[in-house]
Each structure stands twice: as structure tokens, then as C-alpha cells.
Amino acid sequence: MRRAGVAVSGLIAVTMVVLTACSPVRQMSDPAGNPGEREPAADGLLAAWLDGSPETTNADASGFRLLVDGDAALEWRVRSLRKASERISVQYFMWRDDVVGRMLLAELLAAAERGVQVEILIDDMHVRGNEALLAPLADHPNIGIRSFNPFHTRAGLLRMGIEFVVRSDPVNHRMHNKSWIVDDRLAIIGGRNIADEYFNAGGAFNFTDLDLAIAGPLAFEVGQSFAEYWRSPAAVPVQKLARFAGDAAQSGALNTDGRERPAGTHLTAVGPHPPANPYERGPLDRGAYVWTSAAELVVDAPAKAYGDGRTEAGVVQALAQRYAQVEEELILISPYFVPGAEGVRMLGELSRQGVDVGVLTNSLAATDVAFAHGGYARRRHALLDGGVTLHELRPTAWSRAAAVNGAFGNAGARASLHSKAQILDDQEVFIGSFNIDPRSANINTELGVFIADARIVGQVQALYRASTNPALAYRVERSDAGLLQWVDDTGEVHALEPKAGFWRRIVAWVARILPVESQL
């Protein structure tokens, strides 16, 4: 046994030497430089629009618009870029090399070509191995690209796995924030990453998701939060990453036409150039927004990703304070719902105090992460015993689009919930990147907005009601024998998780029995 211990210690020591030799940082300059102190753009279309808006006579009022449909979410991103005059800042966990990913990079490049400063910050989980996508933009004088919390190893799943073992704590903490900021006047935050399936353009499946467009002072606050991450030690210019220079030399120009766009989708309509007619009720339509000052931005500090425990003013703390004040109803919408023993206890206590607690999450057949579903499944009995109402999105929700008046899209694709929202006492909503799971609470950095306005609250309530319609979601109940059962709109009762394949069941079962809940 001692020999085995020495061998393992030796292997770890050798691995550490290899990882150190494969350091991600090269000594090169960062073309973007330091963005300096941020100020909202003084000129341009967005500045002229907001400065002349009667709604903004109240200096504290910001405009809010829910972006439910993937088509609209993409449209608003494209059109906001085309109205930028000074700066564009984008911060994402994932930016995929697909039709939407390349399309939006082409729009960013076009903005840079006309003199707009562009800042792109992506978590290294999706930069590593994807350098060729970003390389054509990285050397542009008006574009800065940074990778958050980069891995030491830059290629290979085996090397990545070894680094996870040797450096498990630092590489386990990821930046999950999602923000899109134009001129510090307009911002989009929410659940969507940049990939086809978040914008109704996926093949096998598409996400139902939710973004929040923000105009005015709170958009500037989102820009300030971006600047804090951009300046953090964990944000490394991609030119300093090992291998990046070689990949850039071989990448050539950004190709946005090399992949066929799905026929009949909105992607063909948006195209690389603005259409002749402005988009109805678009980013510069005042009537598209609800204007209110009753809103608060909450953001985890970048230090949360360092794993040093400095998270006292973060998203989970703000949510906990509000949970303690709920009196009548708490609605939780989360694709990955892993409440843990403490969360089950808290929700059960609220229920015993007379609070109606409702949850919408994915069914096993709908989720894109069956392993995380296992963490939820092990708590289902306890949640029902505590009085919590459980709804699980059906994978066939897209084909039943009429039930939600067009809120869902591609009828041929599997539906998967990705929206992240909460409703507190019919008085306030929370929308952001935060999943109700240990990873969002303790490991990843997150961002979100609280809005205490009856109009926005009513819109999110309507989405919840539509999404929990039996045509779109199963209701999980207990049978007379105390067993779980799933009820659909036909009245059919399923004794096993409906439409879930054998391997999905196996993966979820493994997650239930392994001691991994804290990492889900």
C-alpha cells in the first residue's frame, strides 16, 4: 500500500510538472488594453433615443422587456449591435462554433470595422479547444477577447481530465454569467448562451429560455459588472494562451457562409445585412419596454470563481433574504433543480407556513443533463411530502406550441427547459443565469435582476401558467400506494418517468447513488 501511495504521489508530482510546463499564459500584449472607467455612450442612436425618452425623465427608471421567443432574442441582439456607437461588451459561459455563434461574431466584427470597441469575455470551458473560432477576431485593433479562468492544458480530453484531478478546486469554478451590453445603454441578461439551440435553430432539440432586455441606468450597472470581471486576474487575453497564436495563424478569415442555415428559419431573414424595414417593436421602440425604478441587479463577485469564499454579497445571499420574507407564494423555474437536503427543508417549512410552493423543471426525457436530473430525482419524494407542487416539462412541448400561443418553436425538435426565473409573493420576479442547484449557489459565478413591478410579474406568471399546462408539462404526484406518478393532459398516469430511454435512466440512477450532489 505504501508503494502504491508513493506511485500515486509520484504521478501527481510529474503531472504538476507537465501542467506547469503547459502554462496557459504567453507574454504577449493585449490589443484591447484596459477599458478604463466606463460611462454610457454620450452619442449615437441609443444615447439619442434614451436621452429624449419621456420615460427617462425619472433618472432612476429603466426599461425592461422579456425576450421569450428565440427568434426575438436573436433579433434584438443583432439589431442592438447595429446601433452601437462606442462599445459592445459580451460575457458568456458558452459561445459555440455553429450558425448562430459565427453569425453573431460576424456582427461583432462588422461593428469593430466601423470603429466600435468590442470586448468578448467567455469562460475557458468553451474557449479551450475552440480557439480557431475566435482567432480571426483576436488581432483586430478594436476587439479584445479574454478567457475566464483558463485551463493549463489547451487540448485533449485526457489532459483536461488529469487537470480536473490535480487542480480540481480552481478549474471547477466557472463563470456562468450571461450579459450583452451595447454602449452601456442597452443590455440583455438571462439564461441563453450563444448556440443554435438557444435561438430555435437547433436540430435534435431546442431550449425554451428567457432573456431580459434592459434599457437605461440598470444597463449601465450591468456594464460595470462586466468591467469588474474583465479586469479580474482570472480574465486572460486569449493572445497569452499557449497554442492560440498557432491556431490564429492557421484559422484564416471568419467564415459565416460555410455552413448551411436551416431552411425556413429566422436565421435566413436576419442575414449579414440589415433588412429594409425596421423590426417592429425592436430595441428602440419605447413601447416595447416596461419602465420602472423598482429593480435591482445582483452579481457574484469574480472572486467567487477563485474559490476563496468571498461570496457574502452574491446572488444566493440576495435570494435567501427574500425567501425569508415570502408569505403567500414562491414559484421556482429552473432547468437543473437540485435543492439538496437544506433546500428541501426550507421549501417544506415555507409550505407548512401556508406558502404555496411551485416548481417547474425538466423531465428526465427533456433535460440535456441527465446526470444533474439524478440530484433532483433523489429529492422528489421529500419535496412532495413537504407540500411542494412539481411540474416537469415534456419533451414534446414544441409540438404542442398552440397551448402557449407561440411561445415555443420548432415542432420537430425535442424541447428542453433552460429558463431561470422566480416569482416571490406576486410582487417581485428574479430573472438571470442562476440555476437552483449547488453549482450556481456555491461554485459558479452568476448574475440576475429583481423587478418589483406588477406588469413584469404578471408576464412571468403567465409564462409559468402556460408552461405548466398539462399539454406541456407533467404533474408529479403520489399514488395511493405512495409511489411517484406522472400525469399528462390526457389523464394518462405514468408509473415510470415518461419517454425516458434506458441509458438516461441509468445515468440519472448513478447520480442518485453517488456522493456528487454538491457538484451538480
**Cβ-contact 412, 434 below 8 angstroms:** no
Alpha helices in 94-194 (DSSP H): 99-113, 131-138, 157-166, 168-172
- Could you tell me if residue 65 is left (phi over 0), alpha (psi between -120 and 50 degrees) or otherwise beta? beta
Angle at 381 between CA 371 and CA 441, to 5 degrees: 50
Whether residues 164 and 38 share a domain: the answer is yes
Whether residues 33 and 136 share a domain: the answer is yes
Residue 84: helix, strand or coil by DSSP? coil
Amino acid sitting at position 351: S
Query: Residue 201's pLDDT is what?
Result: 86
Structural domain containing residue 403: 294-519
Whether residues 462 and 341 share a domain: the answer is yes
Among residues 287, 318, 347, the one where a domain terminates is 287
Among residues 236, 258, 287, the one where a domain terminates is 287
**Cβ-contact 212, 72 below 8 angstroms:** no
Cα separations in angstroms, 71 against 17, 165, 296, 389:
48, 40, 27, 31
- Identify the DSSP state of 194: B
H or E stretch at 176: none
Given a cut of 50, the residues of the chain with pLDDT beneath it are: 1-35, 248-250, 258-260, 262-264, 271-280, 401-409
Whether residues 218 and 309 share a domain: the answer is no
Query: Residue 150's pLDDT is what?
Result: 86
In a domain, 17, yes or no: no
The DSSP bridge partners found for residue 235 are 148
Cα 137 from Cα 189, distance rounded (Å): 23
In a domain, 437, yes or no: yes
Query: Residue 202's pLDDT is what?
Result: 85
Query: Residue 357's pLDDT is what?
Result: 98
Cα separations in angstroms, 461 against 96, 427, 455:
31, 11, 10
Whether residues 322 and 356 share a domain: the answer is yes
Whether residues 247 and 300 share a domain: the answer is no
Cα 280 from Cα 355, distance rounded (Å): 41
**Cβ-contact 420, 434 below 8 angstroms:** yes
Whether residues 93 and 200 share a domain: the answer is yes
In a domain, 471, yes or no: yes
The percent helix, strand, coil of the chain (3-state, each to 5) is: 40, 20, 40
- For the chain, how many residues are written? 520
In a domain, 137, yes or no: yes
Cell of 103: 453569425
Q: Is 329 exposed, middle or buried (0-12, 13-18, 19+ CB in 10 A)?
A: middle
Whether residues 426 and 487 share a domain: the answer is yes
Give the number of other Cβ atoms within 10 Å of residue 251's Cβ.
Answer: 17
Whether residues 480 and 332 share a domain: the answer is yes
Query: Residue 364's pLDDT is what?
Result: 95
Whether residues 310 and 205 share a domain: the answer is no
Q: Is 509 exposed, middle or buried (0-12, 13-18, 19+ CB in 10 A)?
A: middle
Cα 386 from Cα 480, distance rounded (Å): 17
- CA-closest candidate to residue 247, choices 95, 26, 33: 26
H or E stretch at 357: strand 356-362
Whether residues 262 and 306 share a domain: the answer is no
Total structural domains in the chain? 2
Amino acid sitting at position 496: L
Query: Residue 275's pLDDT is what?
Result: 39
Whether residues 216 and 343 share a domain: the answer is no
Residue 269: give its domain's CATH number: 3.30.870.10
In a domain, 2, yes or no: no
Cα 184 vs. chain centroid, distance in angstroms? 20
Among residues 242, 265, 287, the one where a domain terminates is 287
510, 516, 518, 519 alpha-carbon torsion, rounded to 10°: -90
In a domain, 5, yes or no: no
In a domain, 69, yes or no: yes
In a domain, 19, yes or no: no
Q: Which residues are catalytic?
A: 176, 178, 183, 418, 420, 425
Q: Which residues of 183-209 are buried (b: 16+ CB within 10 A; e: fewer)?
A: bbbbbbbbbbbbbbbbbbbbeeebbbb
